[in-house]
Structure 1
Amino acid sequence: GKGRIFDAAEATAVAYSRALDQGGPGLALRLRHALFNRLVYGKLRSALGGNITHGISGGAPLNVHLCHFFRGIGFLILEGYGLTESTAAATVNRPESLKIGTVGLPLPGVTVRIADDGEVLLRGDLVLSGYRNNETAGKEALDSDGFLRTGDLGSLDETGHLRITGRKKEILVTAGGKNVAPAPLEQRIGQHPLVGQAMLVGDQRPFIAALITLDPEAFATWLKTNGRPATATPSDLANDPTLVAEIQQAVDAANATVSHAEAIKKFVILPYDFTIAGGELTPSLKVKRNVVMERFADTVEAIYATPRVTT
């Protein structure tokens, strides 16, 4: 019963937050929100200490669904962006100008520009003047106007909010010449409760595919809910129709945001989740793509050795 109440409270919090960006919540949504504020949200805020109202997120992309959830319970997470070369934050959302899904507006004295190829460029007093004992690298990092080449891809909206869409060096180029930024699709798949990590493959391949891991705790709950043996592993159930159909929903949701040429045509459920200890994740929880590609090279080859599946 508590699980169902929390699921309803979560959905209401997300809907309430989204409505704040679309003219405000209606009466029915406000009443549901008030009810769950008493039943659930107040307890969550108490677990955070009772007085906290804002938090700042950086270092890795923040899940949009999660950000809406926290705002819906009364806790604003302000996502920012920057690099070591920009002395940490260069842009950040503010409470009065929050746009979920973006990393906010430039800090005072910072100029953001988007290059012709989509790369985010930064200029300001907080940007490095060079690298110690490496003059060549310093010249490569800055363009002729003094803008820092971040290596990230992004866009600026009509209000000047910056949205990061991926890493320039991580762009996948299919055999047909289609450029695909993996990060947005990976993040969308990762919103599914069962998914631990998602990593797209397809560079110089005929289509885009995904390597997907299962969250251990969510998987244990799924086994119990669906009457599967508690000792079953992701490898045991990698072809289980019910499990595959559920992960397919996550893939379909991601595919709905891109063109058919950019869509994920096949996916594979990997035998274990990525971890820092296992070497697949950095300390900031970014996937080490080269490590994963090396460890699952045979899996990737098998994807493209079998007939293509259109989703």
Structure 2
Amino acid sequence: MREFSSPAAPVPAVGGLADSVYDAAERTPGLVQLSRRHGERWQDVTALQFRDEVMALAKGLLIRGVRYGDRVAVMSSTCYEWTLFDYALWSIGAISVPVYPTSAAEQVRWILAETQAVACVVEHEDHAMTVGAVCDALPELTGIWQLDRDCVTALVEDGQGVPDSLVHRQRLGVTPDSVATVIYTSGTTGRPKGCLLTHGNFAAEADALLDGWGEVFRDTGGAAPATLLFLPLAHVYGRVVQVAAVRGGIRIGHHGQLTTDSLLPALASYRPTFLHAVPYIFEKIYQRAREAAEEAGRGELFAQAAEVAVEWAAAREQRAFGRGSGPSPALRLRHAAYDRMVYQRLRGVLGGRVRNVMCGGSTLSRELGLFFAGAGMTVYEGYGLTETTAAVTANPPGKARFGTVGRPIPGASVAIGEDGEVWVRGGTVFSGYLNHPRCTEEALYDGWLATGDLGSLDEDGYLTITGRKKELIVTSSGKNLAPAALEERVRAHPLVGQCVVVGDDRPYVAALITLDAEALAHWLKIRGREQLDAWAALADEELHAEIQRAVAAANTAVSRAESIRAFRLLPREFSAEQGLLTPSLKLRRQAIVQLYADDIEELYSA
């Protein structure tokens, strides 16, 4: 196997994650640790205030019967109270179990039953009813605490008589090997499994990021670092952002929705210095910026600015690796001009102070990464799994290689197997799956984790992900194809919402394609055409020809045997509610193929 490793970062020998809350309160009590949103305003919370709130809630949890090692589920969108519960639970040695707020009753029942959760924190009445509907199958569940009914205040009042020493006694019993949380995988190919992630796993991940990417988090204007956490805290990436911020003294605010209409005003009011995000956010921001320019009659200006941004960033990338002299004088002049006309406005959408973003969860196209870097916001893409406590690789500061997911973080190693599978090891790798010893044995071998992803390492140790091992398509002629890269190229067209490539045991490759509803409305508007409903759009010849051009463009990057020879437009996008996407928006391919089996048959019967 080809292997690449990074030197280890220091790992704490003792203690748990909650210790950082108590240490910060002692060391820097006035440090603004968090910000809570009240309407359009943000209220600062100091390290001392947060410690006191965590302590008070921990006491209430003890009074309600939560003990060391107990598991408590949290079913909510991202919010301040989730962070508060996490650290209160960790203060008494309890284990948090995140549940996606969109989970169906059967999913909730499975998670709560397998983890034997003693209580569940829910956001509102709908969540309470979902949990209540499966309570009969959960004998260990003794409490449902509802955030919008101020359960925090009720718990704090209950715990007023508990001495601080009782909480500290529990907290001091936590070690790096203690389980901090059970996070369930997204379940793209089967029933989700609970990953046992320890305090040491999170500490290793957070400290590696703080040590290796500290300069990414700082504000170029000298302001204290601050980030807005809008990633789901039910996902490991969101939890790592939370832990790293608290350990690193970085101010965090919370926002519970990923839609751009909701997120952009929050970014404008909070004004973060850096962000953690997923590619979906950048795709939507770019799309909205392009559409706004076209509707204002400045579409050609935006297209030219985008071209210059990509060219400028690519030239700087070459210089960073000693393979060029950087942007030419003429390119620098054009870039400066477009900075005033286009790029400044784009940066203003994210609050005006963001210059660096760390990105993960799925693949960001090289062109989009170059565009944002050229617009003054460098995107450092990384790669990881729930089993690796989020990132196990990331592009290093000042040396981002766009289109890759970077090099191993400090203390991690990456290797490529004979079959192209990515293997990883290090302090962030999980300890196993809850109640699934055979799956744990299959995933872990002599400290190495078999990720199930396919990839390659270049001469500098940068990893490129090419697909999933289980998603390989083998046509009837014996041609092997990893569909992800081809799907990504089709999705690069603004009209395309999603793309699923099919072709297992078939004579050629075909695709199911959905349309982006907002992009379609814009496309029709700038052509002066009437809006079409979903079914009318499928029969529109001009639209079909436009998608055919997107497919043809994607096919130029592959051989004819790998190219998409037929496609079918579908009337609506895949969704988690249909069971076609995971909560983290990954495709559930088997479910999609089953639901659209008739459409797939027609693709091959013509």
TM, length-normalised to structure 2: 0.48
Q: In 1, Cα distance between the equivalents of 2:582 and 2:434?
A: 24
- Match for residue 313 of structure 2? 17
1:54 to 339, 352, 356: 356
> Letter of the aligned partner of 1:211 in structure 2?
L
How big is the alpha-carbon RMSD for the aligned residues of Structure 1 and Structure 2?
1.7
Counterpart in the other structure of 2:416: 114
Q: For residue 94 of structure 1, what is the amino acid of its counterpart?
A: P
| Residue 211 of structure 1, aligned match among 494, 500, 512 | 512
Question: Mapping of 1:103-252 within 5 angstroms?
Answer: 103-143=405-445, 145-230=446-531, 232-252=532-552
Q: Secondary structure at the match of 1:293?
A: helix
Distance in 2 of aligned mates of 1:156 and 1:202: 28
Change (3 A) 1:275 1:136: closer
Q: What pairs up with 1:258-269 in 2 under 5 angstroms?
A: 258-269=558-569
Structure-2 separation of matches of 1:45 and 1:266: 40
- Distance in 1 of aligned mates of 2:390 and 2:537: 43
**Comparing both chains, which one has the higher relative contact order based on Cα–Cα distances under 8 Å and sequence gaps of 6 or more?**
2
Give the conservation status (yes or no) of the 8 Å contact 2:394–2:405: yes
8 Å CA contact 1:103–1:163 kept in 2: the answer is yes
Q: When the two structures are aligned, how many residues end up with a matched partner?
A: 304
Q: Which amino acid aligns with 2:592?
A: V
C-alpha separation in 2, matches of 1:13 and 1:280: 36
Q: Distance in 2 between matches of 1:15 and 1:277?
A: 40
Per-residue CA shift, 1:217-258, capped at 9, x if unaligned?
11011122334321x134323243322222122212211111
Q: Distance in 2 between matches of 1:69 and 1:278?
A: 34
DSSP-derived class of the 1:196 partner: strand
Distance 2:574 2:366 in 1: 21
Aligned counterpart, 2:579: 279
- Which of 373, 384, 397 lines up with 1:82 in the alignment? 384
Within 1, Cα distance between the matches of 2:438 and 2:451?
A: 16
> 1:40-73 deviations in whole A, cap 9, x for unaligned?
1112212212221111111111132221111010
Structure-2 separation of matches of 1:101 and 1:154:
12
Q: Which residue of 2 aligns with 1:300?
A: 600
Q: Percent identity?
A: 53
The separation in 2 between residues aligned to 1:131 and 1:124, in whole angstroms, is 17
Contact preservation (8 Å) 1:234, 1:269: no
Measure the CA separation in 2 of the matches of 1:43 and 1:175. Answer: 51
Deviating more after overlay: 36-45 vs 12-21: 12-21
Deviates more, 1:193-202 or 1:119-128: 119-128
CA distance in 2, matches of 1:284, 1:271: 22
Which residue of structure 2 lines up, in the alignment, with residue 38 of structure 1? 340
Q: What is the deviation of 1:17? A: 1.9
Task: Summarize deviations over 1:59-116 as a string: whole Å, max 9, x none.
Answer: 1111322211110101011111111211221100112221111110001221111011
Between the aligned partners of 1:300 and 1:227, the Cα distance in structure 2 is 34
Moved over 4 A (4+): none
Give SS of 2:435's match: coil
* Structure 2 CA distance for aligned equivalents of residues 252 and 18 of structure 1: 25
Paired position in structure 1 for 2:38? none
- Check the 8 A contact 2:502/2:510 in 1, yes or no: yes
- Distance between the aligned counterparts of 2:394 and 2:468, measured in 1? 19
Change in 2 beyond 3 A, CA 1:43/1:170: same
Letter in 2 for 1:181: A
Deviates most, 282-291 or 209-218: 282-291
Mean alpha-carbon deviation: is it higher for 289-298 or for 151-160? Answer: 289-298
Does the 8 A contact of 1:76 with 1:95 survive in 2?
A: no
Task: Report which stretch shifted further, 166-175 or 277-286.
Answer: 277-286
1:159 partner amino acid = D
Give, as a single letter, the amino acid of the residue that structure 2 aligns with 1:185.
L
CA distance in 2, matches of 1:258, 1:200: 13
Relative to structure 2, which stretch is displaced further, 270-279 or 69-78? 270-279
Q: Using the alignment, how far apart are the partners of 2:390 and 2:602 within structure 1?
A: 41
Distance 1:69 1:229 in 2: 32
User: Secondary structure of 1:235's match?
Assistant: helix
**Deviating more after overlay: 93-102 vs 4-13:** 4-13
1:259-288 Cα distance to aligned partner (Å, 9 max, x none): 111111111111112233443322222122
1:3 equivalenced with 2:299 (yes/no):
yes
Q: Which consecutive unaligned segments of at least 5 residues does structure 2 have?
A: 1-296, 319-323
- CA deviations on 1:130-177 (whole Å, 9 max, x unpaired) are 33333222111123x431110000000111000000010011111111
1: CA distance, partners of 2:376 / 2:528: 37
Change in CA separation of 1:134 and 1:282 when aligned onto 2, cut-off 3 Å: closer
Identify which range, 232-241 or 191-200, moves more after superposition.
232-241
Distance in 2, Cα, partners of 1:7 & 1:233: 29
Distance in 2 of aligned mates of 1:266 and 1:28: 44
Give 1 or 2: higher helix fraction: 2
For normalisation by structure 1, the TM-score amounts to 0.92
**Greater Rg by CA:** 2
Q: Which amino acid aligns with 2:434?
A: R
Tell me the distance in 2 between the aligned counterparts of 1:234 and 1:131.
Answer: 42
Match of 2:555 among 255, 266, 287: 255
